[in-house]
């Protein structure tokens, strides 16, 4: 019988521009791979040296009804969404996209997913994801030492954890200047509404 996850794994990573948010998300994925975890990775930005599927938020929503977005008993799926307020904006209300994302958030444990949402401010992310969140990470980058400091709060734990790690180890896996694209379907709806 397949081992089930005890709880959904939803991590929100936040910090100022250049604080190491994307680096931290990439580090979580790379560390899982290095531990020997059989992983499937979906990201809305390009990764290098890692087997992954490039998928913007609209594509991720389309994959929800396929086996792509579910893990088998011997694997785990990581979904990493940079600039996660795009499509998962707290101010969007109950649009069709946020309804689907809410359903998605409710199924994360059963799908054996690790959802990593990256934003400058967690409050920009839809409240439903903040409600389901199991881990909250605040990042800060020290330019002199190239270390990233993480203040980690896990749901159900009172004590915060602080970790420092050497950022350059993960730089080769992504382009820090890449901008995740706004899905065309969202742009089309916005543009129609302004005419």
What pLDDT does residue 135 have? Answer: 92
The encoded tokens of residue 23 equal 């680096």
User: What value does the mean pLDDT take over residues 114-125?
Assistant: 79
pLDDT at 126 over 90: no
pLDDT at 139 over 80: yes
**pTM reported for the whole predicted model:** 0.81
pLDDT at 144 over 90: yes
Using a pLDDT cut of 70, give the percent of the chain over it: 74
| Contact between residue 25 and residue 118 where contact means Cβ atoms under 8 Å apart | yes
CA angle 45–88–58, rounded 5-degree value: 55
Residues whose CB is less than 8 angstroms from the CB of residue 34 and which lie 6 or more positions away in sequence, other chains included: none
Greater pLDDT, 177 or 121: 177
Q: What is the 3-state secondary structure (H, E, C) of the chain?
A: CCCCCCCCEEEEEECCCCCCHHHHHHHHHHHHHHCCCEEEEEECCCECCCCCEECCHHHHHHHCCCHHHCCCCCEEEEEEECCCCCCCEHHHCCCHHHHHHHHHHHCHHHHCEEEEEEECCHHHECHHHHHHCCEEEEEEEECCCCEEEEEEEECCCCCCEEEEEECHHHHCCECCCCCCCCCHHHHHHHHHHCC
What pLDDT does residue 42 have? Answer: 92
Most confident of 79-83, 85-89, 122-126, 191-195: 79-83
pLDDT at 127 over 50: yes
Greater pLDDT, 106 or 75: 75
Question: Cα-Cα-Cα-Cα dihedral of 114, 28, 6, 117, to 10°?
Answer: -40
Using a pLDDT cut of 90, give the percent of the chain over it: 37
Greater pLDDT, 53 or 56: 53
pLDDT at 89 over 50: no
Greater pLDDT, 131 or 52: 52
pLDDT at 6 over 90: no
User: What value does the mean pLDDT take over residues 21-32?
Assistant: 96
Q: Quickly name the fold that domain 9-193 has.
A: Rossmann fold (3.40.50)
157/135 Cα distance (integer angstroms): 10
| Contact between residue 30 and residue 20 where contact means Cβ atoms under 8 Å apart | no
Greater pLDDT, 114 or 57: 114
Greater pLDDT, 122 or 33: 33
* Domain ranges within the chain, ordered by starting residue: 9-193
């Amino acid at each position: 019988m397949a081992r089930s996850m005890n709880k959904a794994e939803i991590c929100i990573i936040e910090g100022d521009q250049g604080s190491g948010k994307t680096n931290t998300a990439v580090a979580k994925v790379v560390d899982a791979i290095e531990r020997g975890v059989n992983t499937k990775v979906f990201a809305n930005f390009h990764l290098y040296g890692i087997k992954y599927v490039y998928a913007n938020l609209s594509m991720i929503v389309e994959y929800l009804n396929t086996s792509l977005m579910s893990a088998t008993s011997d694997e785990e799926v990581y979904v990493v969404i940079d600039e996660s307020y795009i499509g998962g904006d707290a101010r969007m209300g109950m649009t069709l996209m946020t309804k689907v994302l809410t359903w998605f958030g409710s199924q994360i444990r059963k799908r054996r997913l690790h959802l990593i949402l990256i934003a400058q401010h967690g409050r920009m992310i839809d409240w439903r994801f903040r409600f389901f969140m199991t881990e909250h990470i605040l990042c800060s980058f020290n330019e002199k030492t190239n270390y990233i400091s993480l203040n980690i709060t896990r749901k159900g734990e009172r004590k915060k954890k602080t970790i420092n790690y050497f950022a350059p180890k993960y730089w080769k896996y992504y382009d820090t200047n890449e901008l995740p694209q706004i899905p065309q379907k969202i742009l089309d709806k916005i543009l129609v509404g302004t005419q």
